[in-house]
Amino acid sequence: MSTTKTRDRARPAPAEAAPARTRRGLRDSPAFHFWLFTGPFLIGLAIFVYAPILWSLWLSFFEARFTVTPDKFVGFENYTYMLTNDDFVGSLGTFTAFAAFIVPTTWALSLGLALLVNRLRFMRAFFRSVFFLPTACSYVAASLIWKMSIFSGVRFGMMNTVLGWFGIENIAWLADPSPPWYWLVIVTARLWLQSGFYMILFLAALQNIPGELYEAAAIDGAKPGWQTFRHITLPQLRATSTAVILLLLIAAYQAFDEFFNLLSKTTWGRPPLVELYYKALGESQDYGSGSAGAVILTVLICAVTLLQGRFMGFGRGEESK
């Protein structure tokens, strides 16, 4: 009996059956949900963005007049033609100067508006919305308002009416390229349209600056105003300033709507995109040269962007500053 009891005690208990593993279906897979939501966007991006870019690059090496399926390979002749074309090279030079003016002006105006709104103690949301509201306006609609109402060039135009109060005669703002009054029309329209957007970026960066920095500066004897702005606020806005300037540079070289609508079919004051539009879709319909010009403009934008980013330290770690 004792031996039997000992054997019963030594016998291990039967192992419990392992719970059955639940099989996860396709609908429970994270990868399935990822491709379900991003797939349509990626397909549209490939069809409407990357495919035209590759097609344009391919067309730039062919003689493509009145057709987008050419068969005559010309190599770099289209690039040579565009780089020696006075109208295209002139548009690049002119709008390099335009970018050199509009970028710092917009940066300063946006930062100034952000500083003013950030200091408000009441109705901050109202003024933030008021300054941001022009961003929602179409460039085409704003250009037509500037052209037909504010800078119409007639006696009843808004600007000519104001100038008439001071005894100044009417100015044909968009009719005569000399003096180039059209720059005032274009610059004011662009400042009104885009300053509010970049103001929001600066405002978000200002609100993320720790208040302890200003308290420490006050203890050290820094005066509120220019000293605080120069030594605390501006360095803390370095990353945002770099991003804003990059966006402004790209937007300056991609200007099209306001120039096309304000200057109509004039041959002066054309930006690169308008020049390429008339080259590819004008009377000659030279898609090969237009595509080559688009590639040149893209390379120029990338080069200017990289140089500006390197100059301002974009992408560097905190330890390299």
The answer to whether position 281 is within a domain reads yes
Q: Are 182 and 269 in contact (CB under 8 A)?
A: yes
Per-residue model confidence (pLDDT) at position 13: 54
Distances (CA, A) of 38 to 32, 33, 42, 47, 52: 10, 9, 6, 14, 20
Give the count of domains, the chain. 1
The answer to whether position 53 is within a domain reads no
The answer to whether position 199 is within a domain reads yes
Tokens 């006050």 locate to: 218
Residue 135 parent element (H or E): none
Q: Are 175 and 266 in contact (CB under 8 A)?
A: no
The answer to whether position 291 is within a domain reads yes
Q: Which residues contact 32 (CB under 8 A, 6 or more apart)?
A: 26
> Mean pLDDT over all residues of the chain?
83
Domain with residue 233: its CATH number is: 1.10.3720.10
Q: Is the pLDDT of residue 279 over 90?
A: no
Q: Are 59 and 68 in contact (CB under 8 A)?
A: yes
- Residue 26 — very low, low, confident or very high, per pLDDT cuts 50/70/90? low
Q: Calculate what percentage of the chain has a pLDDT beyond 70.
A: 86
The three-point CA angle 101-190-194 to 5° equals: 105
Domain of residue 260 covers 77-320
Q: What is the spatial distance between Cα 251 and Cα 103, in angstroms, rounded to a whole number?
A: 9
Span 154-194, pLDDT tens digits: 777 888 888 888 888 888 888 766 557 888 888 899 999 99
- Residue 11 — very low, low, confident or very high, per pLDDT cuts 50/70/90? low
The answer to whether position 132 is within a domain reads yes
Per-residue model confidence (pLDDT) at position 295: 93
Span 98-156, pLDDT tens digits: 888 899 999 999 999 999 998 888 888 888 889 999 998 888 899 989 988 888 877 77
Among the listed residues 72, 35, 133, the one whose alpha carbon sits nearest the alpha carbon of residue 287: 72
**Residue 154 vs residue 251, higher pLDDT:** 251
Q: Is the pLDDT of residue 320 over 50?
A: no
The answer to whether position 25 is within a domain reads no
Distances (CA, A) of 231 to 185, 210, 258, 268: 36, 14, 38, 44
Q: Is the pLDDT of residue 314 over 70?
A: no
**Residue 2 vs residue 121, higher pLDDT:** 121
- Residue 62 — very low, low, confident or very high, per pLDDT cuts 50/70/90? very high
The answer to whether position 36 is within a domain reads no
The answer to whether position 63 is within a domain reads no
Q: Calculate what percentage of the chain has a pLDDT beyond 90.
A: 26
Per-residue model confidence (pLDDT) at position 321: 46
